Structure 1
Amino acid sequence: MEIQKLNWAGLKLTSQNKTILIDAVEDYSYYKPVLGDAVENLIEFSDHVQADYILFTNMHLDHFDKGVIRKCLKKGGKLIVYKGLEAVVRKILGEVEIIVLDLNETFTENNITFKPAFAMDGVGEIQSSWIVDDGKTKIFHGGDTIWHNQFWKLGKENVNIDYAFLPVNGVVVNFEIIGLEYSPVPASLNLKEAFAAAHLLHARKLIPIHYGLFVHEKFYVPQVFDDQDLKDISEEVGQEYMILKDGAVLIESSNNRSEL
């Protein structure tokens, strides 16, 4: 499996000559009032990516980009949707072929298995995580989940996870502008929680996502950490990690593992 980190929480997976997008977003302009401007250049990928499968963890517009779906899903491609989001997705993308899966239900095609898993959204909306397994590499994508009590269960029921892609910015949000009262409790996993979740998932490595790109002093305040924090918490929790920067590619095979 080849794994490319896209913007924010986005991934592009390539396996069995098939391309898979997860939480792939190019256009963050809808959320500019609360996220602010991206602090780094965004990756533009939609002009040259044609996906066989597209997945997303939730309907927040920094995880769900209908423009990317319409542009990148190739003819005959499939949008794989968690059952809890089916109704709203059909209203938005009724013309797209949709595969609907309930939690822990699997869909296998081209020797690639897709499975939605429990997640908990920071503002009470519907969300799932995703597990993708091509028989050589298994990844867990946690969207922007908060801490919940199912990580133990998920780790027992989903063995041999190679990489857990988990949010780490522990962001405190003030979304009164859209009708949500302010809460000082983080709306996504913070760094220590992400390491602990990856440990409970028995993941070979944590790969942090959903951090560093957005900050808004009034509405979107993420946890700040550095390389030393990563090393210290990794040692404390006993969980290995690696940093995959936006645009970087990880090539994974049974005999060769390397980051490009």
Structure 2
Amino acid sequence: MIDNIEVFTHSSIRIKSDAGVIYADPFQIKEDYHDADYVLITHQHYDHFSIKDIRKVIKPETILIVPAKMEDDARELSREVKEIVALSPNENRNVAGLELEAVPAYNTLKPFHPKRAEWLGYIVITNGKRIYIAGDTGANKDISKVKCDIALLPIGGTYTMDAKRAADLINTIRPEYAIPTHYGNIIGKKTDGKAFAAMVQSPIKVVEKIQYFKG
């Protein structure tokens, strides 16, 4: 399953799964793919909810999944997708065959992603694996309880966890694989991935997936 996960840049993710093609937070998409069966949006910041990039991946059959408080914003795309599904934190849903768990995503020590915004990460259950897409979050008590086989989480600092806090979280939740995101573009250095990997405890495997960095 790890080979079916791509990170284009930043937190822009594509997963090819038994349920279909899943995107999370498409951003700076370089081609017109139009292959998305599902698009997951974690929150409304421009580098995660980019209308122009969503339009490069959706097709008329796409289901767009967003935090409940973003439902009005998402309606701009209502005529271009099959359905818009809104989820609240800690809500579990089967969306047209895709099993999803909505995980709270928020900062406790920074103001950028307040808990009251009810923004999300997602656990996608597919191909017999639990894949955690953290979105923009700091380390907090909710995500320290996540159970997953594969975790994609931000490490760039400033707006999210830095490499040290992200590694501490991974060493707590202990997935089989950890994939770092949200570095080497708007925030964070290209070398953050290596720094993160050095702090993650064996036997957890760190796989760097970002395909292109800024500059």
Q: Smaller-chain TM-score range?
A: 0.7 to 0.9
SS in 1 for 2:132: strand
Matches within 5 A, 1:238-257: 239-246=204-211
Tell me which residue corresponds to 1:74: 59
SS in 2 for 1:149: coil
Tell me which residue corresponds to 1:162: 149
Higher relative contact order (CA 8 A, sep 6+): 1
Q: Deviations over 1:140-196 (max 9, x none)?
A: 1111211222223x33xxx3x12111111112xxxxxxxxxxxxxxx2100011112
State the alpha-carbon separation in 1 of the partners of residues 11 and 193 from structure 2.
Answer: 19
Alpha-carbon spacing, 1:228–1:169, altered in 2? closer, same or farther (3 Å): closer
Q: Give the counterpart of 1:229 among 191, 195, 200.
A: 195
State the alpha-carbon separation in 2 of the partners of residues 110 and 198 from structure 1.
Answer: 30
Alpha-carbon spacing, 1:73–1:188, altered in 2? closer, same or farther (3 Å): same
2:173 is aligned with 1:201: yes
State the alpha-carbon separation in 2 of the partners of residues 144 and 227 from structure 1.
Answer: 16
State the alpha-carbon separation in 2 of the partners of residues 189 and 88 from structure 1.
Answer: 26
State the alpha-carbon separation in 1 of the partners of residues 138 and 193 from structure 2.
Answer: 22
2:116 is aligned with 1:133: no
- The answer to whether the Cα contact below 8 Å between 1:170 and 1:223 also exists between their aligned partners in 2 is no
Once the 2 structures are TM-superposed, how far is the Cα of residue 94 of structure 1 from its aligned partner?
A: 3.8
SS in 1 for 2:37: strand
Give aligned pairs, total: 202
SS in 2 for 1:103: coil
State the alpha-carbon separation in 1 of the partners of residues 15 and 36 from structure 2.
Answer: 9
SS in 2 for 1:229: helix
Matches within 5 A, 1:50-89: 50-89=35-74
Tell me which residue corresponds to 1:210: 182
State the alpha-carbon separation in 1 of the partners of residues 72 and 22 from structure 2.
Answer: 22
- The answer to whether the Cα contact below 8 Å between 2:193 and 2:208 also exists between their aligned partners in 1 is no
- The residue identity in structure 2 corresponding to 1:100 is A
- The answer to whether the Cα contact below 8 Å between 2:156 and 2:192 also exists between their aligned partners in 1 is no
Q: Deviations over 1:201-258 (max 9, x none)?
A: 331121100101235xxxxxx46855763354124x97542211327xxxxxxxxxxx
State the alpha-carbon separation in 2 of the partners of residues 69 and 80 from structure 1.
Answer: 12
SS in 1 for 2:15: strand
Which is further off, 203-212 or 10-19?
10-19
Alpha-carbon spacing, 1:115–1:229, altered in 2? closer, same or farther (3 Å): same
Alpha-carbon spacing, 1:226–1:72, altered in 2? closer, same or farther (3 Å): closer
- The answer to whether the Cα contact below 8 Å between 1:168 and 1:210 also exists between their aligned partners in 2 is yes
- The answer to whether the Cα contact below 8 Å between 1:195 and 1:206 also exists between their aligned partners in 2 is no
Tell me which residue corresponds to 1:255: none
Tell me which residue corresponds to 2:77: 93
- The residue identity in structure 2 corresponding to 1:150 is D
Once the 2 structures are TM-superposed, how far is the Cα of residue 54 of structure 1 from its aligned partner?
A: 0.5
- The answer to whether the Cα contact below 8 Å between 1:7 and 1:24 also exists between their aligned partners in 2 is no
- The residue identity in structure 1 corresponding to 2:174 is H
- The answer to whether the Cα contact below 8 Å between 2:106 and 2:113 also exists between their aligned partners in 1 is yes
TM-score, normalised to structure 2's length?
Answer: 0.81
For structure 1, the residue ranges without an aligned partner over 5 or more in a row are 27-42, 172-186, 216-221, 248-260
- The residue identity in structure 2 corresponding to 1:234 is V
Greater Rg over alpha carbons, structure: 1
- The answer to whether the Cα contact below 8 Å between 1:50 and 1:74 also exists between their aligned partners in 2 is yes
